[in-house]
A and B are shown apart, each in its own frame.
Chain A
Amino acid sequence: MRRIFDEMSGEDGAIRSAYETLSSWLDKVPREVLDQRRKEAEFIFRRIGITFAVYGEQNSQERLIPFDIVPRIITNQEWAGLSKGLEQRVKALNLYIKDVYSKREVLRAGIVPEDLVYKNPAFRPEMNGQRVPHDLYVHIAGIDIVRTDPDTFYVLEDNARTPSGVSYMLENREIMLRLFPELFSMHKVAPVDKYADDLLATLKSLSPRAGSEPNVAILTPGIYNSAYYEHSFLADKLGVDLVEGRDLFVKDNVVFMRTTEGPKRVDVIYRRLDDDFLDPLAFRPDSVLGVPGLMSAYQAGNVTLTNAVGTGVADDKAVYSYMPDIIRFYLGEEPLLPNVPTWRCREPEHLKYVLDHLEELVVKEVHGSGGYGMLVGPKSDKAQIEVFRAKLKHDPANFIAQPTLALSTCPTLVEEGVAPRHVDLRPFILSGSDRVRIVPGGLTRVAMKEGSLVVNSSQGGGTKDTWVLDA
């Protein structure tokens, strides 16, 4: 197997130019100083209250995501390529969803098999023929990117529902500014703090009511949600109200929030609540988190939901494998960011290949997320592999498989010192009626365990500040 590409020391140990300053700084700085800073960072995280909850775990109501103090560096040129590719990808996602809920040309042209739409649990028949403002569905996207060598960035996953993590991107930078001013003075790092301003402009641009000042609110499931910190953080930075379902009501197909000054009309809802829970009258009747009548207000065009209802039809792992064709179909362009080669177990030849090569592949559930329900072949024992073999045979369409990529690594502070750990990157792409906005960088997630490829925070992954260097 070929050597793993380290973003600082390349494949052959020669420090890459973007990392020269950081590398010599790391050589000089005493270990105690790094440890001290890491402790300070943890202290600040606790003080600010940046915590998250892991579902199904006792006594871990408020955990910290490990924060690694060694920044990850991306050059301006690399970023320029990435951001073009991201914009293209999100454009195609939006066109695809629009098509799926209207003319379905993509199905008629045979690009995507019909059952991937109709049998998709995230498909919302309520959205058929439903126009949404500016034909935009995915206003806030998180596209997960991995890297395998100096020139290759793959899209690993599209998140078109309610991608989270942006508060970590912003807070990581604030903490780094506090802890390592010296490093910032040695690098020209593109700022990320315009995100809040960009998000607000994006949300306001989507208001269904022209002429009046749009009232934007963020809808949270409440304080027990794992991403609650992020919801409150964003509401504060945007200067908008953070509402729960019980703060809203619908009258004559118009959404209002209950305020001390009486009902106030709501125009745009950035909902951090899954489709299923939005409206007990339309979806899960047992949902107490939602707002009765919200869906009909939405269908009447009186309120904008971001992201739109039904976007999940575009971001599962089976649809993912068709994204390059989807991009070609709608945009007539070659994809700028390649997909990871993917075997669809729903297709018999693919399934056969996968079953024959389980030891070397990564197998994922089509609708899984958060790193749950996956098999990393090379890291698994015989028994685990056999369990998956049975699952695959039982319901092949529920799985895809990918080669075990040699994900790039970045220097990371761990027990035994600064050592390479695998990373990915989640940039956030905002699509408003006026334009697309992407702040340079995104959230870098890092697998803190040696050799591990799983970066999800629910699986013990950590985060890093991501620096896009301005030349």
Chain B
Amino acid sequence: MLSRTADNIYWLARYVERADCLARILDVAQRLSYLPVTYGGSTNEWSSVLLTAGCADAFVEKHGPIENATEENVVSFLALDPENPTSIRNCFEVARTNARSVRTALTSEMWDAINASWIELRGFPDRALTREELTRFLAFVKETSLRFDGAMHRTMLRNDAFWFARTGVHMERADNTARILDVKYHVLLPDEEQVGGPLDYFQWASILRSVSALTAFHWVYRDSVKPWLVADLLILNRAMPRSLASCYENLANSLDDIADAYGRQGPSQRLARSIRARLTNQSIDDVFHTGLHEFISEFISDNNKLGAEITEQYLT
């Protein structure tokens, strides 16, 4: 297949996934902002939202120092701002543009999922959304990614186009989970004083919510929410679809499928396998021992490296 086609499919999948992640982040931040201070609510949640979304630089360019972040300007910047290259609106724009250029490589169901959402998106006003409108908007975004993902799974041939799409989904997802951990890791560190106060619970719960895993948590650990278990779930647990380990399991498999089809292994396969091995062979104690923050920073840089390798090997 053409490198350009593969590139389009890969980025199409990444942008739909990114829109979904942004919607979750906004959802959780909004919820945290309602919390009374005694329950861990805080008013400067919004700058950390920008960091988690990876949009801090673009925000500073438009709105000045990051301290200017408020609920209003962060929400409009991330949701519908055409000037923010990775606002949800632009994610959908780019996804659709990519989809249009490779329509023949997509099934009609996938095209329909993305195009219908793009049309519906234009029905949302250009002005700042009210909170009620935002709630509806975020539900719509999540619905879109479910439809798109479902269409991909149900209708695509299992060939390189499918594997590039899956690679895109899991690259983006790993990046997102890692950035949530990167911004919030301090909340998960063992604290000598007063672990388990209500303040901590709602911070941990919101991390779990941002990857839709609050209920999953109880099913996996059958325990009250505890910080090291949250870290374990998001980093090492392969049963959890948004964990780093699960993303890399999928990445390594998709890349291997591509290599099998093309009859040739390359640097991206090797790198994906070595990152997967690191996530499989460690316990969460090891991770805390070497330092949670260091571990995550290293992961993010490795993940970026893999993105670059994939581009180099296949997409250009």
Q: List residues of chain A with CB under 8 Å of any chain B CB.
A: 177-182, 184-185, 187-191, 193-194, 196-198, 200-201, 204, 213, 216, 236-240, 470-471
Q: Residue on A with the closest CB to B31?
A: A177
CA A178 to CA B142, docked complex, whole Å: 14
- Name the contact of A181 in the complex, choosing from B135, B215, B222 (C-beta under 8 A): B135
B36, A182: Cβ atoms closer than 8 Å = no
| Sample of 18 further A-B pairs with CB below 8 A, known A188-B41, A189-B36 | A181-B34, A181-B131, A181-B132, A182-B130, A182-B131, A185-B34, A189-B34, A191-B39, A193-B205, A194-B198, A194-B205, A196-B218, A197-B218, A197-B224, A197-B225, A213-B222, A237-B215, A239-B219
Chain A residues with CB under 8 A of B30 = 181
The proximity string for B residues 254-277 relative to A, scoring 1 for CB distances below 8 Å and 0 otherwise, is 000000000000000000000000
Interchain CB contact (< 8 A) of A200 among B36, B71, B198, B218 = B218
Given contacts A181-B132, A188-B41, contact A237 B201 (CB under 8 A): no
Shortest B214–chain A CB gap in Å is 8
| B residues in contact with A213, CB < 8 Å | 222
B37:A239 contact, CB within 8 angstroms: no
**B36 contacts A238, C-beta separation under 8 Å:** no
Most chain A Cβ neighbours within 10 Å, of B130, B132, B215, B225? B132
Query: Quick check: B222 and A216 within 8 Å, CB to CB?
Result: yes
Contact B202 A191 (CB under 8 A): yes
Chain A residues with CB under 8 A of B34: 177, 181, 184-185, 187-189
B287 to chain A, nearest CB (A): 22
> Given the complex of chains A and B, what is the CA–CA distance between A173 and B50 in angstroms?
27
Contact with A along B212-237 (1 / 0, CB 8 A): 00010111111111000000000000
Contact of B222 among A179, A189, A239, A470 (CB under 8 A): A239
User: Which parts of B180-216 form the interface with A (CB within 8 Å)?
Assistant: 198, 201-202, 205, 215
Chain B CB within 10 A, most for which of A185, A187, A191: A191
Residues from chain A with a CB closer than 8 A to the CB of B41 are 188
**Smallest beta-carbon distance A348→chain B, Å:** 52
Is A190's CB under 8 angstroms from B217's CB?
Answer: no
**Does B91 make an interface contact (CB < 8 A)?**
no
Asked if B220 and A185 sit within 8 Å, CB to CB, the answer is no
Instruction: State which of A178, A185, A201 has its C-beta within 8 Å of the C-beta of B224.
Output: A201
In the assembled complex, the CB of B132 is this many whole angstroms from the nearest CB of chain A, namely 6
Q: What's the Cα separation between A444 and B162 when bound, in Å?
A: 51
- CB pair B36–A239 under 8 Å, yes or no, is no
Inter-subunit contact B218/A237 (CB<8 Å): yes
Pick from A181, A197, A470: contact of B37, CB below 8 A.
A470
Majority DSSP secondary structure for residues of B touching A = helix
Partner of B36, one of A188, A201, A204: A188
A238: chain B residues at CB < 8 Å are: 218
Complex CA distance for A240 and B218, rounded to whole angstroms: 8
What are 26 residue pairs bridging A and B, where the CB atoms are less than 8 Å apart in the complex?
Answer: A177-B31, A177-B34, A181-B30, A182-B131, A182-B132, A185-B34, A187-B34, A188-B34, A188-B35, A188-B41, A189-B36, A190-B38, A191-B35, A191-B39, A194-B198, A194-B205, A198-B224, A200-B222, A200-B224, A213-B222, A239-B217, A239-B219, A239-B220, A239-B221, A240-B218, A470-B37
Which one of B71, B132, B218 lies within 8 Å of A239 (CB-CB)? Answer: B218
A179 to B217, CA, bound (A): 26
A295 vs chain B, min Cβ distance (A): 26
> How many angstroms between the C-alpha atoms of A237 and B41 in the bound complex?
23
Q: Which of B33, B201, B219 contacts A194 (CB 8 A)?
A: B201
* Distance from B202 Cβ to chain A, minimum over Cβ atoms (Å): 6
Closest to B39 in A: A191
Closest residue to B202 on the A side, CB-wise?
A191
Q: How far is the CA of A237 from the CA of B30 in the complex (A)?
A: 22
**How many angstroms between the C-alpha atoms of A333 and B30 in the bound complex?**
44
The 7 A-B pairs of least Cβ separation, nearest first, read A239-B218, A470-B36, A181-B131, A239-B219, A188-B36, A184-B34, A201-B224
B35, A181: Cβ atoms under 8 Å? no
Indicate whether A190 sits within 8 Å of B39 (C-beta atoms), given known contacts A177-B31, A239-B220.
yes
Measured between alpha carbons, how far is A182 from B128 in the docked complex, in Å?
A: 14
> In the assembled complex, which residues on chain B have CB atoms less than 8 Å from the CB atom of A200?
218, 222-224
Q: Considering the chains assembled together, what is the distance between the CA atoms of A189 and B225 in angstroms?
A: 22
In the bound complex, CA of A193 to CA of B223 (Å)? 15
Q: Could you tell me if A179 and B36 are in contact, using CB atoms closer than 8 angstroms?
A: no
> Do the beta carbons of A239 and B215 come within 8 Å of each other?
yes
Is B134 interfacial (CB-CB < 8 Å)? yes
| B36 x A185 contact (CB < 8 A) | no
Complex Cα–Cα for A185 and B46 (A): 14
Write the chain A residue with the least CB distance to B209. Answer: A193
Q: Note all chain A residues with C-beta closer than 8 A to B36.
A: 188-190, 470-471
Determine the residue in chain B with the shortest Cβ distance to A439: B198
Chain A neighbourhood of B39, CB < 8 A: 190-191, 470
Chain B residues positioned under 8 Å from A191 (CB to CB) = 35, 39, 202
Contacts of A240 in B (CB 8 A): 218, 222
Name which residue of chain A comes closest to B32, CB basis. A191
Return B34 CB to nearest CB of chain A, in Å.
4
Instruction: Please report the C-alpha to C-alpha distance between residue A180 and residue B30 in the assembled complex, in whole angstroms.
Output: 12
| Assembly CA distance A182 to B132 (angstroms) | 7
Task: Name the one of B131, B202, B223, B225 contacting A185, with C-beta atoms under 8 angstroms.
Answer: B131
* B215 cross-chain contacts in A, Cβ below 8 A: 236-237, 239
If A189-B34, A470-B36 touch, does A181 touch B134 (CB 8 Å cutoff)? yes
- Per-residue CB contact flags for chain B residues 36-49 toward chain A (1 = under 8 Å, else 0) read 11110100000000
Shortest CB–CB separation between residue B295 and chain A, in angstroms?
A: 26
Task: Name which residue of chain A comes closest to B38, CB basis.
Answer: A470
Q: Which residue of A lies closest to B131 (CB)?
A: A181
Which residues of the other chain, B, contact A216 by a CB distance below 8 angstroms? 222
